[in-house]
Amino acid sequence: MPKLGIDKDFLRDFGKLERSVQDRVTEIFAKFEQATHAGLHLEKPNNARDPRFRTIRIDKFWRGVVLAPEAGDSFTLLKVLPHDDAYTWAQRHRASVNTATGRIEIRDGAAIDATLPELARMADRAPRRLFDDANDADLRRLGVDEQTLAFARVLTDVVQLEAARAFLPQNQWDALYGLAAGMTPEQVWAELGVTAGREPYDTEDITAAVERTPEQVVLVDGPDELMEVFRHPFALWKVYLHPAQYRVAYAAFGGPARVTGGPGTGKTVVALHRACHLARQGAGPVLVTTFTSTLSASLEAGVRLLADSPEVRDRIVVRHVDQLSYQVFAERHGRAAILRDKEEKDIWRRIVKQLDAPFTETFLAEEWRHVVLAQQVTSAAEYLKAKREGRGRGLGSRQKAQVWQAVWEFEEELRRRRVWTYETICVEATRLLRERPERPYRHIVVDEAQDLHPVQWRLLRAAVSEGLDDLFIAGDTHQRIYQSRVSLRELGIGVAGRSTRLTINYRTTAEILAWSLGMLRGERIDDMDGGLDAGLDMVAGYRSQVHGRPPELRGFRTQKDELDALAGKVGEWLDAGVAPGEIGIAARSNMLSDSAITVLERAGIPARSLAKAPDAEDAVRSGTMHRMKGLEFRCVAIIGLSEHQVPSSSAVTPVREDPLTHAQDLQRERCLVFVACTRAREQLHLSWHGTASPFLAGFVT
Ligand SMILES: Nc1ncnc2c1ncn2[C@@H]1O[C@H](COP(=O)(O)OP(=O)(O)OP(=O)(O)O)[C@@H](O)[C@H]1O
């Protein structure tokens, strides 16, 4: 029986074909799967650049181009085009096997030949060329072949290389682009997943090369799978991962492992692939978890899409951390009465008064969360010795005694009232799990890990057996929008040697990414492992492959002017063909987000609140910046970036109260705007009224 592969680039075009042509393609290739080689009407086109190209009739007007190796019966569908275009395509392109990665590559050989002379003329006049510092041997070792090498040698500018992406062989382009972005050959190798010192691959064995290229070619196993691929042609990530992503998702790890990377680098996609991979192995239940219900709902949808059989689906449980702790708690104690925020504040306030302590209720609440609970402090003596890193206000031993007295009173009050906070439920659930003879999960996959609190990490540690592939952690500390800071090492979760950083941004344009990174420049951000992160902009190679318009920044006199202009902007996007569901609005407060909805509706534009209708696809969705986490839209407008709204004064500790916490709070507010900006795939619009937010200083004149 013939084996059929489908090229990712074709799938991208498939959605744009007319429905009747799509149906015909599906029908032919479903039959193709069952046919024998002899039964296929494959035609060898004249003048094809690659002797292994064949065309196949779809209907009177359309033909498919198929890569058919000389021997064997594995075929790869590359294109479906109108009749003449299909023949022209076959004359311009050729397939080859990359010597370093062993993967199949397609290039537009005619475009390379046509562009090279003009580039060579320009290079003769240029003082320097792009790859002057790279020697031929290194380039060859990275899989660059003769035609691409000749091309690379006449490049003088990275913009020329970017333009050549459409026609150079993919892995060779990746290697060149990595070098141009400042990566060393070794880093490029690592990213491409090349084993050092390996013999070059056999460039004649096309069938093996196709099998080695899951990120570019999906091999379908039977007509059902084929139909499934054609039904979800846009969910490309479902089947294709970049080699760097693939390696992490499918690796075997001796213990906890972690994937980091900037926004849109595919951490969530990798986490989902990993969960399904672990479930397929069948060693035991897999928990996929994160920190909020909105995020866990989108992970659930991802698992549904990716799990390829009901058995795999059934082995995966998606549950956010508080849900897990509540479930464990409730199994033993029944329903828990939860202390509300306001009630908690009232208790602390009463204690401050009663003890006549020189602290505010906010200071005590944070000291309890970020020192006492974070380090499992259970006595005055332990508290005296506890590390208070990250807490700005120093405390002498007399003051510590006072704090401990307050904490003791507070915990006593919780016990007396039989009420719980999310943290104390988590602590109790952890205790209950530790008592059990067996762990409920064999693997845990955590997404958006940067926002979990130490008590939640302990819960997860207690919920999974220690061992191979136990914990897989995806996160980015630059996107931390809540207060938790942890050192995984101190929590007994060692990821040293099992940490990978992804560097290619698949979501945002280079312009939006550069602007958003500019906003974080200079911030010193931790790496969740007791050190400082190198900083996104310092990491060679963090890049986006797509270009677009730079973000648009606009200031207005009043809020009314700003919101009217927002309605105008959204109207422009809709007129340009962007669907309402592909537009997102973010504001710092719920109130401003709701005002935006009212103004849009008044302008006749359907708009819904992200909090109430997170999945509304037929309306523009508006919400707080916090709600934007984990989502993405073609166009994003961030409103209310005004002096007194961003940073939000209620979220920032006054500098006189605690300078260090003040600085951390400001950083978190900056990260929040960064998260909101990086949700935009194509266009980003930022606005304010009155004086602009200090975060925009340097961008606004
Ligand atoms: N290899 C790939 N090829 C094409 N698209 C990809 C690939 N990997 C990820 N994507 C797409 O890029 C976008 C971002 O992916 P994802 O949400 O996993 O990134 P992330 O790193 O978790 O982002 P963030 O940290 O900002 O939430 C998604 O639309 C995803 O489908």
User: In the 3-class helix/strand/coil scheme, how is 398-465 assigned residue by residue?
Assistant: HHHHHHHHHHHHHHHHHHHHCCECHHHHHHHHHHHHHHCCCCCECEEEECCHHHCCHHHHHHHHHHEC
Cβ of 64 less than 6 Å from ligand 1: no
Cβ of 240 less than 6 Å from ligand 1: yes
Token pair belonging to 288: 């996929």
* Mean pLDDT for all residues in the chain: 87
Cβ of 475 less than 6 Å from ligand 1: no
Residue 504 Cα to ligand 1 midpoint, Å, equals 9
For the range 234-239, what are the long-range contacts, defined as Cβ-Cβ under 8 Å and sequence gap of 24 or more? 234/12, 234/15, 235/305, 236/8, 236/11, 236/12, 237/266, 237/269, 237/506, 238/305, 238/306, 239/8, 239/214
Minimal-distance CA residue to ligand 1 atom 16: 266
For the chain, state the CA radius of gyration. Answer: 28
Cβ proximity of 24 and 59 under 8 Å: yes
Selection from 158, 186, 184, 187 nearest residue 173 by Cα: 158
Positive or negative: CA dihedral 459, 463, 464, 465: positive
Minimal-distance CA residue to ligand 1 atom 9: 266
Residue 264 Cα to ligand 1 midpoint, Å, equals 5
Residue 274 Cα to ligand 1 midpoint, Å, equals 14
Minimal-distance CA residue to ligand 1 atom 28: 507
The residue behind tokens 């060393």 is 184
Report ipTM (2 d.p.): 0.98
Minimal-distance CA residue to ligand 1 atom 18: 266
The H-or-E segment that residue 547 falls in is none
pLDDT of residue 66: 92
Cβ of 681 less than 6 Å from ligand 1: no
CA distance 660 to 691: 26
CA distance 298 to 627: 12
Cβ of 131 less than 6 Å from ligand 1: no
pLDDT of residue 473: 96
β-partners of residue 220 are 4
Q: Which of 12, 259, 269, 306 to mutate to test the pocket of ligand 1 (most atoms within 8 A of CB)?
A: 269
**CA dist list (Å): 123 to 119, 137, 153, 160:** 6, 21, 9, 11
Residue 600 sits at φ, ψ, to 5 deg, of -65, -45
Cβ of 264 less than 6 Å from ligand 1: yes
Q: Which of 7, 237, 238, 673 to mutate to test the pocket of ligand 1 (most atoms within 8 A of CB)?
A: 237
Minimal-distance CA residue to ligand 1 atom 11: 506
Cβ proximity of 646 and 696 under 8 Å: no
pLDDT of residue 532: 56
Question: Helix count (H) and strand count (E) of the chain?
Answer: 27, 22
DSSP string, 595-610: HHHHHHHHTT--EEET
Q: Which of 165, 239, 506, 628 to mutate to test the pocket of ligand 1 (most atoms within 8 A of CB)?
A: 506
Residue 245 Cα to ligand 1 midpoint, Å, equals 10
- Render pLDDT for 611-648 as a digit per residue (tens, 0 to 9): 888 778 899 999 999 988 888 899 999 999 999 899 99
pLDDT of residue 679: 94
Cβ of 655 less than 6 Å from ligand 1: no
Cβ of 546 less than 6 Å from ligand 1: no
Task: State which ligand 1 atom lies nearest to the alpha carbon of 447.
Answer: 22
Task: State which ligand 1 atom lies nearest to the alpha carbon of 269.
Answer: 18
Task: State which ligand 1 atom lies nearest to the alpha carbon of 272.
Answer: 18
Token pair belonging to 308: 């390829």
Residue 628 Cα to ligand 1 midpoint, Å, equals 15
SS (H, E, C) 30-61: HHHHHCCHHHCCEECCCCCCCCCEEEEECCCC
Residue 240 Cα to ligand 1 midpoint, Å, equals 11
pLDDT of residue 527: 60
Cβ of 245 less than 6 Å from ligand 1: yes
Task: State which ligand 1 atom lies nearest to the alpha carbon of 270.
Answer: 18
Sorted by sequence, the CB contacts under 8 Å of residue 49 that are 6+ apart come out as 90, 91, 92, 93, 94, 109, 110
- Render pLDDT for 276-300 as a digit per residue (tens, 0 to 9): 999 999 999 999 999 888 788 889 9
Cβ of 236 less than 6 Å from ligand 1: yes
Residue 536 Cα to ligand 1 midpoint, Å, equals 17
Residue 269 Cα to ligand 1 midpoint, Å, equals 6
Minimal-distance CA residue to ligand 1 atom 29: 507
CA distance 101 to 58: 33
Residue 178 sits at φ, ψ, to 5 deg, of -60, -45
Task: State which ligand 1 atom lies nearest to the alpha carbon of 474.
Answer: 22
Residue 695 Cα to ligand 1 midpoint, Å, equals 26
CA distance 19 to 25: 10
Residue 602 Cα to ligand 1 midpoint, Å, equals 34
CA distance 407 to 412: 8
Cβ of 320 less than 6 Å from ligand 1: no
Residue 506 Cα to ligand 1 midpoint, Å, equals 6
Burial class (CB in 10 A: 0-12, 13-18, 19+), 15: exposed
Cβ of 261 less than 6 Å from ligand 1: yes
pLDDT of residue 538: 42
Task: State which ligand 1 atom lies nearest to the alpha carbon of 235.
Answer: 31
Q: Which of 246, 268, 446, 473 to mutate to test the pocket of ligand 1 (most atoms within 8 A of CB)?
A: 268
Sorted by sequence, the CB contacts under 8 Å of residue 589 that are 6+ apart come out as 624, 640, 645, 648
Cβ of 476 less than 6 Å from ligand 1: yes
Minimal-distance CA residue to ligand 1 atom 24: 263
Instruction: State which residues of the chain have pLDDT below 50.
Output: 536-541
What is the three-class DSSP state of 537? helix
The dihedral formed by the CA atoms of 75, 79, 83 and 88, expressed in degrees to the nearest 10? -100
Token pair belonging to 301: 């949808």
Selection from 562, 547, 479, 468 nearest residue 511 by Cα: 547
Residue 190 Cα to ligand 1 midpoint, Å, equals 20
